[in-house]
Amino acid sequence: MEQESLPTEIILSHPHQTIGNIRLDWNPQPGAYLDLEGKTYTVLERRHRYQFKSGKYHLRKIALYVQLAQRPTERSRIHDRWVIGDITCGYNARSELIRCAVNPAGPCEGCRFFEQT
């Protein structure tokens, strides 16, 4: 079954402003990267907007809250998802959004706080 493309509002989280309205044929989850008008953004949050029609709620629109980002060059795979950084380090957050607490901007290679687990 082909997925229907839904109107999607792209909202910059800080400063809070709408930066675009597009139609997407995929469902970006928090941590995913989105390219829009030559810039790359990280999806922080996804909200659904519903409309009550004919006694039912219908998904009408999606709102994505994003922040400007660069795609990380260091990624590791944990089970079915990608995380930022080297997961063999004890400080790695194992997150799609943040690398670690001591060196969130990275890189992991050559980091003075690197602790092999």
Would you list the domain boundaries of the chain? 6-68, 73-117
For residue 94, count CB atoms less than 10 angstroms from its CB and return exposed for 0-12, middle for 13-18, buried for 19 or more: middle
Task: Give per-residue pLDDT as tens, 32-53.
Answer: 889 999 999 999 999 999 999 9
User: Percent of the chain at pLDDT above 90?
Assistant: 43
Report field, pTM of the whole predicted structure over 0.75: no
In the chain, what is the greatest distance between 2 CA atoms, to the nearest angstrom?
61
Query: What is the model's pLDDT at position 55?
Result: 95
> Using CA atoms, how far apart are residues 96 and 81, in angstroms rounded to an integer?
8
pLDDT at 22 over 70: yes
* Residue 1: band (very low, low, confident or very high) from pLDDT cuts 50, 70, 90: very low
